[in-house]
C-alpha cells in the first residue's frame, strides 16, 4: 500500500523522471565531448593514422649505371628481377600465409618465418624480403594464388647482369648485399638493409658514381595489403655510366690464352698508362653473387688452391726471376760497375765462397757483354753485376722503376711487393745480409717479390723512354643523357732519370731477346712488328746446387717454376706493353711469351680495333 502511494505521489514521480533525464543528458554530453575530441581536437592525428592504414610509401630502387669498354661495347647491364616480400600486418594469419607461399617457392615455412623473426624490430607494415629473383613460372603461380596470399608483395627491381660469363670478373667486380658494418660506416647514406652495393673491382671503386638516387611512390592498399591504386610517384634517378680503358676484344683474347691455367695477364698503352686488358685466371661467375650463391658454391671458390677470388694481376706477389735482370743491368750501367764493353765469362756456373751458383744453360754462354746477357739471360753475368752493385744500390733502382710499392691503380687490395735491403733483412730476421744473397737478388730470386702490374709499369717505362704512368682503368663517366661528367687524363707517376746510353743498351738487349737466334724469346718473334721483351723462370722451391731450370720433369706440378714474360711493341714507338705470368708454367720462353705475342698480334693487327700495321718485307 505504501509503495502504491509513492508511485501515485506526483512529487516522487517527478524526481525519478528528472534523475533519468539527467543521466541521459550526461551520457549524451560525454558522447558529444568524446566526439568533439576525436573530430576537432585530435582529428588531424586520427586522420593521419587512418590514412596510414590504407596509404603507404613504397621505395623504388635506382638502376645502376652501365659499364662499357673503351670502344663503347657494353659489358655490364641491368635486367628486371621479381622479388617476393611479405608485410606481417597484412599477412594474417601469418603462419598460414607463409606456409602457402613456401609451397609455391619450394622452401620450408620455417626458413621464411626465421627471416620474419629477424626483422621483428621493423614496423609490422614494413615489407620483409623473403626471396629474390624468382622465375617467371613462380611469379605466375603466385599471381594465380594471389587471394590466398594476403600481405605478399612482388616488386620488380633492376638486377645487375654481367653480359659475358666470367669475363673481366676481377676488373668489373661484383655486387653483394650491404652489411651492417657498411650501413653504419656512413659511406652509404641512401642505402637500406637488403640493398646491393659494390664489393670488389670497378663496382666497388666507382660505387658512388654507379649508384643512382632512390625513388618512391605513394599507394593505396586494401585490407589484404594489395595495391588498389598509385597516388603519386617520384621516379628513381639512374646512376652514371662508366667507360673503362679495357679493350674487350683484347680482354677476351687474353682470357682465351689463359684458359685452363692459373696466372695473370695485364696490358697497357705505354704512352698513357691506360690498361687495355687485365686477366686473372681462373675466374669466377659474378652473376652468381647477384642471383644468390649457396654455401657449397662459396666454399668451393675460397678453398680452390688456384685462388679464383684473387686478382693476381694486382694482388699476386711472385719472384720476378730473370725479368729483374732489367733492373740489375740498369743499376750496373748507371753505377759504372759495367759498361757497353764489359764482358764476363760464363762456363755454366759461378763459384762464390764455398758455393757454386749455376747458370740456366749447363754448357754456359762463353764471354758475354750486357746486351747479349739480357738477350740470352745469362745468370753468371748478372751474378757478377749483382755482387759488385750490392743489395742496397739494387734496391734504389728497383724502387725508382716502381717495384716495392703499389702502382695506385683504381682497384682494391693492391699488393706492395717487396724490394729487400740489408736493413730490412736484419729487422725481419735478425740476421745480417750475406754476400751470396746479392747473387740471388740480382737474377730476381731470393726475397724479391713483384706484382704483374708493377712489372708491366717497369717494362712500359723502358719502352717509352723513361716515363712511369699511373695505371688507368677509367676512361670517362657519362650521365644517362650522354654528357661527360668526368674524364681521365694520363698521370705521370715518375720520370726515370737514367742516361740515354743506359736505356739504349737495355732496349737493345730486350730487342735481341726476341729477334735474334740466341734470344730466349726468339720463337715468339713476329715478322710484322718488332717485339722487345724479357723472359723469366721464377723458382717456387729451392734447387739443389747441381740442378738447373731444365731438371723439372719429375717435379710435382705445384712445385714447378712460374713462367714470366714482359714485352712491348713495336720496339721503336710502342703502342702496347704486356706482362704475363703463368703459375707453374716452367719456362717463360715456351709458356708466357706466346701469350704475349698473341695479344700483341691481336691489338696491333687490328683484330680488336687496334692500329693496323703493314707487314714488313
Residues present in the chain in total: 617
Omega of the bond prior to 93 within 30 degrees of 0, cis? yes
Taking the CB of residue 489, how many other CB atoms lie within 10 A of it? 7
Question: Alpha carbon of 495 to those of 402, 461, 492: distances in Å?
Answer: 11, 9, 7
Residue 586 corresponds to which cell in the numbers above? Answer: 716452367
Mapped onto helix, strand or coil, the DSSP state of residue 116 is: helix
Q: How far apart are CA 152 and CA 132, in angstroms?
A: 13
CB of 492 closer than 8 Å to CB of 468:
yes
Omega of the bond prior to 359 within 30 degrees of 0, cis? no
User: Cell 682465351 sits at which residue?
Assistant: 256
CA nearest to 477, candidates 162, 238, 209, 198: 209
Sorted by sequence, the CB contacts under 8 Å of residue 277 that are 6+ apart come out as 246, 247, 250, 251, 253, 254, 265, 266, 267, 599
Full DSSP string of 415-440: ---B---HHHHHHHHS-PPPHHHHHH
Full DSSP string of 453-472: HHHHHHHHHHHHTSEEEPPB
Residues identified as active-site:
322
CB of 401 closer than 8 Å to CB of 330:
yes
**Distance of alpha carbon 602 from the chain centroid:** 25
- In this structure, what DSSP letter does residue 107 have? -
Residue 205 corresponds to which cell in the numbers above? Answer: 671503386
Q: Which residues of 273-291 are buried (b: 16+ CB within 10 A; e: fewer)?
A: bbbbbbbbbbbbbbbbbbe
Amino acid at each position: 500500500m505504501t509503495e502504491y502511494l509513492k508511485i501515485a505521489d506526483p512529487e516522487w514521480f517527478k524526481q525519478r523522471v528528472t534523475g533519468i533525464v539527467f543521466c541521459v543528458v550526461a551520457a549524451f554530453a560525454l558522447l558529444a565531448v568524446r566526439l568533439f575530441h576525436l573530430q576537432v581536437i585530435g582529428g588531424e592525428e586520427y586522420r593521419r593514422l587512418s590514412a596510414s592504414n590504407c596509404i603507404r610509401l613504397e621505395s623504388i630502387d635506382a638502376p645502376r649505371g652501365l659499364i662499357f669498354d673503351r670502344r663503347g661495347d657494353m659489358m655490364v647491364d641491368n635486367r628486371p628481377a621479381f622479388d617476393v616480400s611479405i608485410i606481417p600486418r597484412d599477412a594474417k594469419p601469418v603462419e598460414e600465409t607463409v606456409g602457402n607461399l613456401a609451397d609455391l617457392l619450394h622452401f620450408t615455412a620455417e626458413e621464411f618465418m626465421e627471416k620474419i623473426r629477424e626483422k621483428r624490430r621493423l614496423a609490422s607494415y614494413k615489407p620483409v624480403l623473403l626471396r629474390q629473383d624468382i622465375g617467371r613460372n613462380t611469379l605466375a603461380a603466385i599471381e594465380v594464388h594471389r587471394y590466398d596470399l594476403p600481405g605478399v608483395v612482388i616488386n620488380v627491381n633492376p638486377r645487375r647482369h654481367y653480359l659475358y660469363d666470367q669475363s673481366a670478373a676481377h676488373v668489373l667486380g661484383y655486387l653483394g648485399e650491404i652489411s651492417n658494418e657498411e650501413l653504419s660506416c656512413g659511406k652509404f647514406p641512401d642505402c637500406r638493409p637488403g640493398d646491393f652495393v659494390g664489393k670488389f673491382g670497378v663496382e666497388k671503386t666507382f660505387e658512388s658514381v654507379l649508384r643512382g638516387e632512390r625513388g618512391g611512390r605513394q599507394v593505396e592498399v586494401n585490407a589484404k595489403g594489395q595495391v588498389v591504386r598509385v597516388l603519386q610517384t617520384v621516379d628513381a634517378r639512374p646512376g652514371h655510366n662508366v667507360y673503362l680503358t679495357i679493350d674487350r676484344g683484347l680482354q677476351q683474347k687474353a682470357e682465351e690464352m689463359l684458359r685452363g691455367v692459373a696466372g695473370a695477364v695485364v696490358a697497357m698503352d705505354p704512352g698513357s698508362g691506360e690498361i687495355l686488358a687485365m686477366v686473372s685466371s681462373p675466374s669466377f661467375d659474378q652473376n652468381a653473387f647477384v642471383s644468390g650463391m649457396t654455401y657449397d658454391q662459396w666454399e668451393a671458390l675460397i678453398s680452390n688452391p688456384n685462388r679464383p677470388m684473387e686478382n693476381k694481376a694486382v694482388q699476386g706477389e711472385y719472384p720476378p726471376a730473370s725479368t729483374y735482370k732489367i733492373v740489375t743491368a740498369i743499376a750496373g750501367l748507371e753505377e759504372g760497375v759495367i759498361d757497353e764493353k764489359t764482358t764476363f765469362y760464363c762456363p755454366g756456373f759461378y763459384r762464390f765462397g764455398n758455393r757454386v751458383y749455376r747458370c740456366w744453360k749447363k754448357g754456359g754462354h762463353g764471354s758475354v757483354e750486357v746486351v747479349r746477357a739480357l738477350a740470352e739471360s745469362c745468370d753468371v753475368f748478372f751474378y757478377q753485376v749483382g755482387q759488385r752493385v750490392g743489395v742496397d744500390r739494387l734496391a734504389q733502382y728497383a724502387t725508382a722503376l716502381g717495384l716495392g710499392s703499389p702502382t695506385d691503380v683504381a682497384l682494391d687490395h693492391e699488393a706492395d711487393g717487396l724490394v729487400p735491403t740489408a736493413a730490412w733483412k736484419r729487422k725481419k730476421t735478425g740476421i745480417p745480409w750475406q754476400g751470396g744473397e746479392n747473387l740471388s737478388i740480382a737474377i730476381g730470386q731470393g726475397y724479391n717479390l713483384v706484382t704483374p702490374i708493377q712489372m708491366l709499369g717497369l717494362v712500359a717505362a723502358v719502352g717509352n723512354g723513361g716515363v712511369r704512368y699511373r695505371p688507368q682503368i677509367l676512361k670517362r663517366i657519362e650521365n644517362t643523357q650522354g654528357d661527360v661528367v668526368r674524364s681521365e687524363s694520363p698521370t705521370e707517376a715518375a720520370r726515370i732519370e737514367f742516361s740515354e746510353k743506359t736505356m739504349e743498351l737495355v732496349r737493345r738487349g730486350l730487342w735481341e731477346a726476341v729477334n735474334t737466334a740466341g734470344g730466349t724469346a726468339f720463337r715468339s718473334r713476329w715478322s710484322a712488328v718488332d717485339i722487345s721483351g724479357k723472359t723469366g723462370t721464377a723458382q717456387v722451391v729451392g734447387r739443389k746446387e747441381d740442378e738447373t731450370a731444365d731438371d723439372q720433369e719429375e717435379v710435382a706440378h705445384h712445385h714447378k717454376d712460374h713462367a714470366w714474360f714482359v714485352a712491348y711493341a713495336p720496339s721503336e714507338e710502342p703502342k702496347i706493353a704486356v706482362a704475363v705470368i703463368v703459375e707453374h708454367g716452367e719456362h717463360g720462353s715456351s709458356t708466357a711469351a706466346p701469350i704475349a705475342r698473341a695479344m700483341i698480334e691481336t691489338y696491333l693487327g687490328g683484330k680488336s680495333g687496334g692500329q693496323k700495321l703493314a707487314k714488313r718485307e
